Each structure stands twice: as C-alpha cells, then as structure tokens.
Amino acid sequence: MSSLNSTVSPNAAFVRPQFFYINGFSNIPHVKYYYIFLCFVYAVTMFANIFIIFIIYTEKSLHTAKYAAVLNLAVVDMCGSTCLIPKLIHTFLFDSQFITYEACLGNMFFVHFFTFLQSLCLVVLTYDRFVAICFPLRYHIIMTNTSILMIIACVWVFTATLVITLVLLITRLSYCRSIVIESYFCDHGPMYRMACNDNFPSSIQAKICITVFTFIPFSLIVLSYVCILSALLKIASGEERLKAMKTCTPHFILVILYYVPFFITYIAALLSVIHPNTRIICTSLSSTIPPMLNPIIYTLKTEEIVGAIRKLYKRNKIQLQ
C-alpha cells in the first residue's frame, strides 16, 4: 500500500485517487467462517422477505395501509442486504479490496441510503400503530392506502436527497495521504476523516444525517410508545388491552433489534477506544441481522400473516387434491 500512496503527491492542490483500498476485517482469525455466516444470513434474508412480500401481495385481506408499510420495509431490507453483503463477501473472501473512486461513491450512497431508510420505515410503522391505538375510530380515515403510499414516497425522496448531499460533499475532498478505508465498505465516516483538505462540511453533514436518521426517529418512536402506553392504560378491559399490545409486539422487537446495537456501539466509542475490528464486526452485524429477522418476526408474531399463510396452505392443498 505504501507504493500506491507514494504515487500521490502531498503537494498537489487537489488529489482524486483512481481507487481506494477497503481494509476492513484485518488480522481476524478464522474470518472466512464469518463470511460463510454472512452468506447464510443473506440467503435467509432474501427468502424470508420474498416470502412475506408474496404473502402480502397474494392475500387481499392484507392490502391495507399497515401491510403496505410492512411490504415497504421488506423491500428496503432486501435492497439494503443486496447492496452490502454480496459486495462485502466479494471484497474480502476473494481478495478484491481495491475499488474505483466512482464505484466507491456508488457503494457509499446505496449502503447508507437503505440503512437510513430502514430507520424511517420503522417510524412509518410506529405511526401506523400510534394512530390505530390512540385514534382507533379515525384509523381507517387517516391510514388509507393513498396516504401511506404518499408517506413512503416522501420518505424515499427525503432520504435520497440527504444521502446524495452526503456523497457529493465527498467529491470536494482531496486524498493526498492515504487511500486506505478502515471499514468493510466505502463508509462515509472513515472516508471524510482521512481527507487532507477541509472536511468540515462533510463532518457537519454526517452529524445531520446521524441526527435526522437515528436520534430523531428513535425519539419519535419512544414518544409514540409513551402515548400508546397511556392509551392502553385507559382501556378498561384487560383482554382488549392485551390484544392491542400484541399488535405492537412485532414492531417493538424490530425497534430494539435496529437501534440497541447502534447505541451500544456509539456509546462505547464515546466512552472508550474501540478496536477497529470490534467496531466493524458490531456494525456489520447490526446492518445484516435485522433485515433477516424482520420478516421472521412479523410472520411469527402477526396473527393476520399467520392466518394468510394458513389460507394459502389450505388453498394449495385443495388444488393438489
């Protein structure tokens, strides 16, 4: 790598390298077993999400605002995993750690885009549960298929706009010292920090994105659940209260799976120095495990989907007879 870096003159006014070197997962013993594990995770993620999309598409009773949001999450999970895992395995398992400048920016956009989108998808699902429990009589007026599709479209456009800005600011950075990215993909944080010119705009945009796509959504979700809990306590019947709580269980588990690993890693980084390999393993797991578990949790914990699967099974059984 030193020979590559020596070709870049530190006296140059602006240096845009032809390629970067993704350094992640360095000196980890038996790391190939981790890549095999990620192959398994990717296969389960694709199968489970395709299955839940198929169930929602074929069962007309699931053509509602709530399941439009669930379907949207499944699509985002599939796209996010496809952008991350196959490239990660190709990069490290087949020793293809060099990536062109343009491909690196594309990788950065798509990985961050779908990662941030997952957070906002959870907010959309929270909004559905908030309206259903806090305003049950107005639910079908507020949560129409048209309104949820408009919300989803706005979320996609909003996320794309901020992530495009994030990537465009990278193009103004000069790399005269190093082309080695200390991460497992073209991660924005390590990339803007290794620039040798003013990276302040990229630093500000990174803080904006973390706030907008992590802290604000998590705060909205917590606030929504406080309102939901307050509304549940006002329900006189214990059976009705339990039934309403069950409708929130899958979503609540998804929230824990997505946000808790991130906050643990983030707080640990603030309180102490985390080894790069530890950070990479934690962040890669928190990016790949939730998309695999999301459809499984919704399948097992949601009565409507379980009912739809049973109906589909009985229908196919009758046709085979």
Looking at 14-64, list the stretches that DSSP marks H as alpha helix, in order from N- to C-terminal side: 31-58
3 state SS of 235:
coil
Q: Which residues share a beta bridge with 22?
A: 181
**Is 2 a member of any domain?**
no
How many CB atoms are located within 10 Å of the residue 149 CB? 14
| Whole-Å CA distances, 21 to 4, 183, 206, 247 | 10, 10, 22, 46
**Is 138 a member of any domain?**
yes
How many CB atoms are located within 10 Å of the residue 34 CB? 18
The Cα 47–Cα 67 span in angstroms is 18
pLDDT tens for each residue of 63-102: 999 999 999 999 999 999 999 999 999 998 888 999 999 9
Q: In this model, does residue 141 exceed pLDDT 50?
A: yes
pLDDT tens for each residue of 222-273: 999 999 999 988 876 777 788 888 888 888 888 998 998 888 877 776 776 6
pLDDT tens for each residue of 167-211: 999 999 999 989 999 999 999 999 999 999 999 999 999 999 999
Lowest mean pLDDT among 29-33, 128-132, 189-193: 29-33
**Is 6 a member of any domain?**
no
**Is 23 a member of any domain?**
yes
Please compute the mean of the pLDDT values over residues 13-30 and round it to a whole number. 86
**Is the Cβ–Cβ distance between 98 and 180 less than 8 Å?**
no
**Is 12 a member of any domain?**
no
Q: Which structure tokens are listed for 150? A: 């408009």
Number of domains in the chain: 1
Q: Which structure tokens are listed for 206? A: 């990174």
Q: Which structure tokens are listed for 119? A: 């957070």
Q: In this model, does residue 12 exceed pLDDT 60?
A: no
What does pTM read for this prediction? 0.91
Model confidence band, residue 309 (pLDDT cutoffs 50, 70, 90): confident
**Is 4 a member of any domain?**
no
Helices 101-134 and 65-93 sit at what angle, rounded to 10 degrees? 150
**Is the Cβ–Cβ distance between 247 and 64 less than 8 Å?**
no
CATH number of the domain where residue 142 is located: 1.20.1070.10
Which residue range is the domain that position 74 belongs to? 17-320
**Is the Cβ–Cβ distance between 261 and 293 less than 8 Å?**
no
DSSP string of 107-154?
A: HHHHHHHHHHHHHHHHHHHHHHHHHHHHSGGGHHHHS-HHHHHHHHHH
What pLDDT shows up at residue 232? 87
**Is the Cβ–Cβ distance between 289 and 257 less than 8 Å?**
yes
The Cα 100–Cα 169 span in angstroms is 17
**Is 108 a member of any domain?**
yes
**Is the Cβ–Cβ distance between 169 and 122 less than 8 Å?**
no
Name residue 57's amino acid: Y
Q: What is the mean pLDDT of the chain?
A: 88
**Is 11 a member of any domain?**
no
